[in-house]
Structure 1
Amino acid sequence: MVTLDDGNACVRRYACEALGKITTKTATSEVINRLVSALGDDDEYIRMSACRCLGEMSEKVATSQIINQLVIALEDGHVGVREHACEALGKIGKKAATKEVINRIISALRDNHEHVKMSACRYLDKMNEKAATSDVINQLVIALEDESAGVRRYAYEALGKVGEQAASNEVIDRFLMALGHDHDDIGKYA
């Protein structure tokens, strides 16, 4: 645990990564608190590693404090931190499907970076009907027009899992158009 306080950023980063690999044995309150603290580190790679590690611990860390800290990380200035915060929230599961989290994920769908948008779609895909608000569906429909094939793919997958709430004429028309789409395998995901 001393290595998480090391003056060398590389040592702190490797300590976070090592904890992520042995999470089943390390999910103590002390480790979790240190990882939450690492979310505020000056080094973006340490913040990214802390998000990844907390995501690997998933249900063991599913407290409102951890979820709130990961939600704050969705606003981080580094794209990798935002991406891994989305992924971690998705791994935590339905406990992270609160209205506040879903609203922040909707904001992540409008991020400038495709990896953040893809992670946001994957989060919504895991939440199924729990995230099926009209705002979510509208943002996923907008994501169907994204320039990134990856974002479009995950938006289709998420809309498919949201259930009947997404079954508007517009969404159905988009799926039908995508079925004839031969670029980037989009038709396969529709």
Structure 2
Amino acid sequence: MNEDNNLQYWLEMLRSPDINDRIVAVKTLQHLGDEETINALIIALKDEHLTVKKIAISALWEIANPVAIPALIECLSSSDTDIRAEAASALSELITQDELLLLLDKLQSNDVNLQLNILVLLRKIHDIQCLPYVLPFLESKNPELREAAVTTLRYINQLEKCPQALNLIFDREASVRRAAALTLEHLQDAEVMTILCQALTNDSDWQVRRNAAKSLAIHENHQAISALETALNDEHWQVRKSAAQALQKIPNIQVMPRLIQALTDEYADVRKEAVIALGNLAHPDAINPLQQALDDPDREVSIQAQRAIQKTQANKNFLP
């Protein structure tokens, strides 16, 4: 049997009413793994049995020919979670700028699963042309779509301002607020600092507060000092840790007393970040507290305390 006849044989097997025949056929096509099998594997994507579909997706992923991309995109509408996940994984490696218009076209469908996956795939392309297509999803009634859209904004090149994204940090769904807090790290709208400070000090969800602190660390703006100082008293240790990390970026003598208090925090991670922040202040009044931190039960804290002391003593403004 020559190669063409061999391929035709397995193609006929894919049409068999017996599921075992179809599984054998698609596995064989996967094993052959060459360009000639692509059309047959695309046909297998329409099989009613999930096993056949999944093997076909994996095979097309391995062959990595972009001709299969439109068919794989259709799999993102599948009612089966595994099929959608497998297709999304394959597409995340196959998608390029060349498929941008195709993705934007599919984004306008009414299928939520397809829309969610397209929003994620657009993060691979980073193109500012995506923006007008993503913005409507910020107002979607579906919180998953709002979260996916505000996250995708982080990946769009040259995006500095996006007023439509700002209010999502006050969204009724915590998952959306968490995503928005991280996205605001990338935006330069005039209100960003005020909104992040509000989220840091007032949001009921500790992950939103932590994410707000992380974004404030990126902005390195002294306008955030008071909010970060307040956050050093937050009930959740990860928020306190992130606040101390942000204060390392914007040293300010105002927060030194609170940073010194943080040296007795019950969590070593918080104590370590407070020590580093005090080292960046390089103020002589921090020497004694830092010397006490040399005896901290956590070795990393004591190591960082030694470095902070050396940094303070090396400061040209330090007078012993």
Describe how 1:1-190 pairs up with structure 2 within 5 A.
1-20=135-154, 22-27=155-160, 29=161, 32-55=162-185, 57=186, 60-61=187-188, 63=190, 65-74=191-200, 75-93=202-220, 96-98=221-223, 101-128=224-251, 131-133=252-254, 136-164=255-283, 167-168=284-285, 171-190=286-305
Quick one: which amino acid aligns to residue 178 of structure 1?
A
TM-score normalised by structure 2 residue count:
0.50
Quick one: which amino acid aligns to residue 167 of structure 2?
S
C-alpha distance in 2, partners of 1:184/1:147? 15
- Percentage identity across aligned positions? 26
2:118 counterpart residue number: none
Q: Deviations over 1:7-56 (max 9, x none)?
A: 11111111122222x143333x3xx212202112111111111110111x
State the Cα distance separating 1:121 from its structure 2 match.
0.4
Contact 1:149 1:186 in 2 (8 A): yes
Quick one: which amino acid aligns to residue 69 of structure 1?
I
> Which has the greater radius of gyration?
2
Q: Secondary structure at the match of 1:144?
A: helix
C-alpha distance in 1, partners of 2:259/2:163? 34
C-alpha distance in 1, partners of 2:168/2:253? 32
Contact 1:39 1:50 in 2 (8 A): yes
Q: Secondary structure at the match of 1:188?
A: helix
Contact 2:163 2:189 in 1 (8 A): no
C-alpha distance in 2, partners of 1:175/1:79? 29
Contact 1:4 1:34 in 2 (8 A): yes
**Which blocks of at least 5 consecutive residues in structure 1 are unaligned?**
none
Deviates more, 1:172-181 or 1:10-19: 172-181
Structure 1 residues 108 and 15, CA gap change in structure 2 (3 angstroms): same
State the Cα distance separating 1:182 from its structure 2 match.
5.0
C-alpha distance in 2, partners of 1:62/1:186? 37
C-alpha distance in 2, partners of 1:2/1:97? 33
C-alpha distance in 1, partners of 2:280/2:189? 23
Q: Secondary structure at the match of 2:235?
A: coil
Structure 1 residues 175 and 66, CA gap change in structure 2 (3 angstroms): same
C-alpha distance in 2, partners of 1:112/1:13? 26
Contact 1:149 1:184 in 2 (8 A): no
TM-score normalised by structure 1 residue count:
0.83
C-alpha distance in 1, partners of 2:143/2:189? 27
C-alpha distance in 1, partners of 2:295/2:176? 43
Quick one: which amino acid aligns to residue 108 of structure 1?
A
The alignment's C-alpha RMSD in Å is 1.6
2:23 counterpart residue number: none
State the Cα distance separating 1:172 from its structure 2 match.
1.6
Structure 1 residues 62 and 163, CA gap change in structure 2 (3 angstroms): farther
Contact 1:62 1:92 in 2 (8 A): no
Count of residues in Structure 1 that have an aligned counterpart in Structure 2: 170
Quick one: which amino acid aligns to residue 186 of structure 1?
V
Q: Deviations over 1:155-190 (max 9, x none)?
A: 0000000122xx21xx32232233344525211211
C-alpha distance in 2, partners of 1:104/1:150? 20
Q: Secondary structure at the match of 1:12?
A: helix
